[in-house]
Amino acid sequence: MSPLTQPQSLSAQAPILLLENGDHLTRDEFERRYHAMPHQKKAELIEGVVYLPSPLRFEPHAEPHGNLMTWLGFYKAMTSGVRMGDNPTVRLDLDNEPQPDAVLLIDTLAGGQCQLSEDGYLEGAPELVAEVAASTAAYDSYDKKVAYRRNGVQEYIIWQVLDQKLDWFSLQRGEYLSLPADETGVIRSQVFPGLWLSVPGLLAGEMAQVLSILQQGLATTEHQAFIESLAAEGQGS
């Protein structure tokens, strides 16, 4: 048999292509390529399009992100039945697999709407998602926001650091509406009782003020009732 007519070796398979910004992929193909790039720390599929974020600078992203996680982490520590994650991969739907900066969710056993897959990824919509963006020009404010709304993320926080602006959206009748701040600049979650945020404090990096306001929320009867309801849900599951 001529070499030209010999069957191709099974080992001579085509290499897996690397992810590139702007690729249009299915979620399965996105995951296949992502797994082949262990050096790549973050990649997202938003409305079927691949996004590979640039390296993150300290003041526009890393430090604000740390402050955001401190606030959410304190709430999680004081609220049994609630879980928090930093940059988790979330399988929202067949066209969207974001890696949000932060998620806060109700544990599945306590009635949460998000599931943990057998291979360790979140599937479905976390109750709250937070993103740190440099400005309103970031895709967090557009296609990603649409995907979160359509898939039922109940609350969505976008912190635009360079614009000194924070928006907290609540899903109501299929639309995202801004949660209002009170006269002191405090916003209160509608999904997580006691999760209070001093927006002026967070924007200024005054974490003592942020945690002081949060502690006030944690001391409310609404927060205690929330913990009790999660415990009761867990016992009944």
In this prediction, residue 134 carries a pLDDT of 74
Structure tokens at 235: 């016992």
Average of per-residue pLDDT across 154-171: 96
Tell me the pLDDT tens digit for each residue of 33-70: 999 998 888 999 999 999 998 878 898 899 999 999 99
Question: Does residue 50 contact residue 21 with C-beta atoms inside 8 Å?
Answer: yes
Structure tokens at 82: 């609630």
CA distance linking residue 127 with residue 37, whole number of Å: 29
**If you average pLDDT over every residue of the chain, what do you get?**
91
| 18 pLDDT higher than 50 | yes
| 5 pLDDT higher than 70 | no
In this prediction, residue 3 carries a pLDDT of 40
DSSP 109: G
Helices 63-77 and 207-218, interaxial angle, to 10°? 20
| 234 pLDDT higher than 90 | no
| pLDDT band (50, 70, 90) for residue 142 | confident
- Domain edges within the chain: 58-236
State whether CATH 3.50.50.60 applies to domain 58-236: no
DSSP 154: S
| pLDDT band (50, 70, 90) for residue 136 | low
Percent of residues, the chain, with pLDDT higher than 90 = 80
pTM, whole model, 2 decimals?
0.88
In this prediction, residue 137 carries a pLDDT of 58
Q: Where are the alpha helices (DSSP H) in the chain?
A: 27-35, 63-77, 143-151, 199-204, 207-218, 221-236
